[in-house]
Structure 1
Amino acid sequence: MREIVTLQVGSFANFVGSHFWNFQDELLGLAADPHADPVFRNQHTNMDVHYRTGETQQGDVLYTPRMVSVDFQGSLGSMSSRGTLYNEISPADSDVITWSGGVSTQASEPHKKNLFLQRLYDEGEENATPMNDVNGGGENSSQREIHDRDVVENLESVVKYWTDYSKVHYHPRSLYEFTGLWMDSQEFDNYGIGRDAISGGFRGEEINERLRFFVEECDHIQGFQFVVDDSGGFSAAAADLLETIADEYGNTPVLLYSVRSPGSYTNPMSRKQTVFRDLHDAVSFSKLQSFCKMIVPIGLPVLSTSKAATYLSIKDEKPYHCSAVYAAALHTVSLPFRMEQLGPAADSRDISGSMDVNGLVQMLTGQSRENKVAIMDVAMPAPSLTGSQGNQNLLGNLHPLTPEIRDDVDDSQAVESITALGTFSSGVSRASVPEVNEKVDAAYRQAASRPMFCHLCVVQCPLPIPLPFPSIFGASVGQHGERLGNPITGSRGSLDVHSIPLAARLRSSSAVLPFLENRLGKLCRYGIERGAPGAQLVRSWGFGQDELEDMGETMLKMVVQLKPDSGMSSDSD
């Protein structure tokens, strides 16, 4: 067994994680469904990589994610912090009997379940058939279709918490809420506040104990999948947790995805706010990258009009929408970690390219230069390999989800890892693994520039679209994710699009230089230089001048490794 433990820290990280686990849950259900498309029943993936086996209090065997989530108190909506599997401890059990004075109780109304969660609860009570069986037969299929549409429409208007669309059972040790913070999310907006919060009380140790529970259950952990919303104070909580992982599990690689919603990119109202945010961005990135093997920044300021959303209908103001795209890409690039190892006599027409976390990290970071900042690209949905509609080159349809990068870079030392799911050869006919390999290789041969090395992972199983997935597909996306020649009116959701072919890429490239140079320049300009306007601010966050200069030196080395002819010095912009 080569297990992965997942950590989700911060609000938007949990929005992404909720979609990610919905994909895994959907794949589990389809693999066990005798009426499902055979491509889902022959996935060649080991779901135990991400899941643990346990029992309910009634002795029923079940799967729960090997995951720790950290968020604000109250961020779980109608879900208990103990998940949905076990009963809460009665408040009466903790009554204080030594107090003889009067007692007043302040209680808030519990959050009501939306239509989706209510149906989950009802079906759990009735032990009903799988929820997303929209293609199934039976005398109640038409009634279920009507109910499904009500659920989908309701989710588009009511989602406030990441639990509002989660269809997964969580272990009681998985969900941790930051209690005792007398501030809202808008105030919890910088590294210093997060550092104070994690150092106060026993929060850090409580989170670490939950992490140890899942790690100690593993036979042979292959790595940590860490997703953090680094736009505010949770980046400090993540850095503290990363430091513990480095101390206790130093030989286990951490693959860190730093995610941001478009809402975190609001324009500062004053120069003070600009300094405030720029220093947070620089300090947060510096601390996070120092404790992981590879960091992947994800989150465009505007996703809806980006090339990555060409075939999508995104509302940037909805984390429910944007996180779905990032989760789909995360699912795709992480697929090699849970693929079965096929022997030499196995049929390779369905799957190719298995790799563990350490192998991927070493491939992307351990070449002629050590660049630990990777770029994420996605093609959603991926094009067919042949046809007359638009640009059918798979490589040409991969567009960045990483902000502040250059598009026109010719980097002969670049290294890439591409994963393609359920690609069509033409129409809705699935391409074989050799077909995809051949087409990608041919595209690289015809390209103006090609990377030094490219690892390609191919599976025939597409990405299934669970019922609570948002209605973000454009009018040109068909039922199986094919690109339509004749668009259909309106955006489309899980009742219209049941699965999609998807391609995603992680790449180590000098195209990430603007991202690094911007953070180095902001750190120097606002925190390090003599008379820097933010010097007092970063001191209030607990950083001395020596530590800031060390951060600057480290980032400068990262820049020089990608840009050897740079004449920059540590005190430059």
Structure 2
Amino acid sequence: MPGHDLITLSLGNYSNYVAAHFWNIQDELLGYTDLEDWTDLSAVIDSTVLFNIKENRQGALSYHPRALFVDLSGSLGGVSLSDSVGAAATESISTWGGRLQVHQADLVPKSSFLKALEEHAALDGSEEDSVWEARQAALEEAAINLDLRDTVSAWTDYLKAPLTSSLVYTIPGIWKGINEFTSYCDGVTAMSGDGPAKEAKEEISDRVRVLSEQSDGLQGFQVLTEDKGGFGSITQRLLEELREEYSNRDVLLFSVRPPSNPAVKIKGMEEARSAANDAMALSTLPELCSMYVPLAVPWSRHAFPHLIYKTNSHFQTSAILASAIDSFTLPARLTPGCPQSRLGSPLGAVSLHSLVQLMRGRGGPNLVAGSLCMPCPSVETDLQALQAHRDDRMRGGPRDQLGESASGQVNHKLTGMADPVLTSVSSCTTMLSPGLVDVPSQRLVESITLRGALKSESYFSAGESEGGGGQVSVAGAPGSIGVWKGGRASVSETQQALDYALLHGHGDSDARMCVRHRTVVPMPLPVPLPFPSSLFAPEVGGLLGKVYRSAAVASAADFAEATVDRTQPQPHNSSWGRAYGQQPVGHRRTPIATAPLLARLLATEAFSTVLDEVCVKWKETCRSAAGASLLDTWGYSPCDAQEVGEVLQGLASSYHDSDSEL
């Protein structure tokens, strides 16, 4: 019978960028359990689903991620593992009598953040305040500079978990920046044959087996993979073994990819490789997992109204995907029994198996799309006011500025917020699945997670002088003064507003009748210390910083002058660091501590269009000279290519016929 633990596997460089943010978010959540004002809210999420927890003789707890990072050699930046790479290299050279080609690179230094984190961890609590504050300031400055100065060159630069040989595995003989690993079948070579290839295959399998043996009861696996390349076939081999050894456990696969510029047209071998990679991934991986979720941040930097990111920054774009994945899987990580918080018990807890069965209908196709709104609009607790707001929007009232609407009512909105009140799930979320267009009439099943919602009164109201929170300056809106009044919404208030949006919102009320599962959690997304500080638009900092921080930092000008208050507990403990005696990592200069978030998983017939396009490109690739040459190097005969095309066509047809499956 399926248990409650999840094992997280990440394969590929960009996948590990995402996974590093994911684990930093989990670490941040653990820190909130020690805060009196947050204990009941954070307790609704069960961290033991993802961590192995150990207790020493003194009763101190240490948290160990139930995870495995897989990457190429040379991809760990300034971090080295305890295993001796040099010894292995010497042994392999001694058995080779042919010509040697040596590639030597300068040693990569550790990031300033990791150095500051190590110095902070060395504190034992006996230091003078000035020493602690200096280390704290250095840590905060290093975290901000990771983003502002574009100094991140590896995912290890900001991961807070100490990397050990049991947590990460680098594939021997294949080096980042030296060996091409861009074709799907490159991974076949890396995992086939004897010697290092056989060792790599066995090593990954053994480490997964150890993780499963350490689990008291395994619920399933969540796999993050960069499958459009060599790690696609490595993922295929891993999934085949998981299905063989853990056939009664679900595997949730997230195919994560960096943003791609649709305006850039590729030709020749590069075009053939891209089309072949897509075809191979979609023809093999979905049938080996329980649910396949393709994710990529849109190339357009205006896709998210309140996020600002550089499309070429892995550090920034992977943070968005990590936030989404953390919320997609939240229904399967809620504490059993759903403990009561002051905002109510969470709604919508399900097992991973139940979530998978829900999204697949009655054994239907298993491709699922993902969309995200971060930070999400506040919720209106007065349904009459919500209806008036919706009517105002339908009449074309202004959405982006303070002033009078078509109805003559004053819009009390935070300057720059595109739509501060939740009136539609479809309109506020941004599609993360590449090439997919959300068509309401094609929806089959939805799983919607809304966490940490604010009441609409929490948004700043210009010209008012009384309220529950006092006046603060709004970042990015010089001269604007406002107050926050409402605070966090209860679970029942959030559920009421969410249901109204689904029943009456644009793009929701006109959708076909479909199964909808909603999860409402009072705990917002905890934003960890090394999260990209420039990701949130300036106007968001004033709002979220005031509502969620015990020591508010409302603007960029303000946080430059912020000081550390050591008398107040702070929510930024490092769960791994505490095992090594680390002091709590406290007040930061980033204005965002937590964020309300809305995430949606969607099964839709719109995948048929994406799959049809992949089929067409696969056929064109097989007929082209570049494609034929590529497939020949992969060892694919015309019959093999035809079989891949038939699998893709069958998958596309299952979406054309999806009505009969549900």
From the superposition, tell whether residues 548 and 106 of structure 1 become closer, same or farther in structure 2 (CA, over 3 Å): closer
Equivalent position of 1:385 in the other structure:
379
Q: CA deviation at 1:109?
A: 5.4
Counterparts of 2:33 and 2:546, CA distance in 1: 26
Counterparts of 2:602 and 2:39, CA distance in 1: 28
Q: CA deviation at 1:181?
A: 1.9
Q: Which runs of 5+ in 1 are unaligned?
A: 83-87, 100-104, 130-137, 567-573
Deviation readout 1:24-75 (Å, 9 max, x if unpaired): 00111121244xx326654312211111134799997521111111101111
Structure 1 segment 230-245 matched on structure 2, within 5 A: 230-245=227-242
From the superposition, tell whether residues 106 and 269 of structure 1 become closer, same or farther in structure 2 (CA, over 3 Å): closer
Counterparts of 2:88 and 2:239, CA distance in 1: 36
**Equivalent position to 1:453, from 507, 512, 515:** 515
From the superposition, tell whether residues 92 and 547 of structure 1 become closer, same or farther in structure 2 (CA, over 3 Å): closer
Equivalent position of 2:141 in the other structure:
150
Q: Does 1:189 align with 2:182?
A: yes
Equivalent position of 1:534 in the other structure:
627
Matched AA of 1:384: S
Matched AA of 1:546: C
Structure 1 segment 136-535 matched on structure 2, within 5 A: 143=134, 146-156=137-147, 157-181=150-174, 184=177, 187-200=180-193, 201-202=197-198, 203-262=200-259, 267=264, 269-300=266-297, 302-306=299-303, 309-342=304-337, 349-367=344-362, 370-386=364-380, 388=411, 389=413, 390-391=418-419, 392=421, 393-395=423-425, 396-411=427-442, 414-426=444-456, 427=458, 429-446=487-504, 447-471=509-533, 472-479=535-542, 481=544, 495-527=590-622, 534-535=627-628
Equivalent position of 1:571 in the other structure:
none
Counterparts of 1:499 and 1:543, CA distance in 2: 50
Counterparts of 2:35 and 2:546, CA distance in 1: 27
Equivalent position of 1:76 in the other structure:
76
The answer on whether the counterparts of 1:466 and 1:494 sit within 8 Å (CA) in structure 2 is: no
The answer on whether the counterparts of 2:424 and 2:502 sit within 8 Å (CA) in structure 1 is: no
Q: CA deviation at 1:341?
A: 2.0
Equivalent position of 1:62 in the other structure:
62
Matched AA of 1:70: V
Matched AA of 2:65: P
Equivalent position of 1:25 in the other structure:
27
- SS of 2:455's equivalent in the other structure is strand
Deviation readout 1:537-572 (Å, 9 max, x if unpaired): 223213333333333222222222222399xxxxxx
From the superposition, tell whether residues 342 and 248 of structure 1 become closer, same or farther in structure 2 (CA, over 3 Å): same
The answer on whether the counterparts of 1:19 and 1:327 sit within 8 Å (CA) in structure 2 is: yes
Kindly name which structure, 1 or 2, has the bigger radius of gyration based on alpha carbons.
Answer: 2
From the superposition, tell whether residues 61 and 146 of structure 1 become closer, same or farther in structure 2 (CA, over 3 Å): closer
Q: CA deviation at 1:515?
A: 1.9
Matched AA of 1:510: E
Aligned-CA RMSD value: 3.5
Q: What TM-score comes out, normalization by structure 2 length? A: 0.74
Instruction: Count residues in correspondence.
Output: 536
Q: CA deviation at 1:80?
A: 2.4
Q: Does 1:557 align with 2:640?
A: no
Q: CA deviation at 1:436?
A: 1.6
Q: CA deviation at 1:358?
A: 0.9
Q: CA deviation at 1:116?
A: 1.2
Counterparts of 1:547 and 1:281, CA distance in 2: 16
Matched AA of 2:311: D
The answer on whether the counterparts of 2:32 and 2:42 sit within 8 Å (CA) in structure 1 is: no
Deviation readout 1:499-520 (Å, 9 max, x if unpaired): 1001101110112232212212
The answer on whether the counterparts of 2:40 and 2:340 sit within 8 Å (CA) in structure 1 is: no
Structure 1 segment 3-152 matched on structure 2, within 5 A: 3-34=5-36, 37-38=37-38, 42-54=42-54, 61-82=61-82, 110-127=107-124, 143=134, 146-152=137-143
Q: CA deviation at 1:143?
A: 4.9
Q: CA deviation at 1:6?
A: 0.7
> Relative to structure 2, which stretch is displaced further, 379-388 or 49-58?
49-58
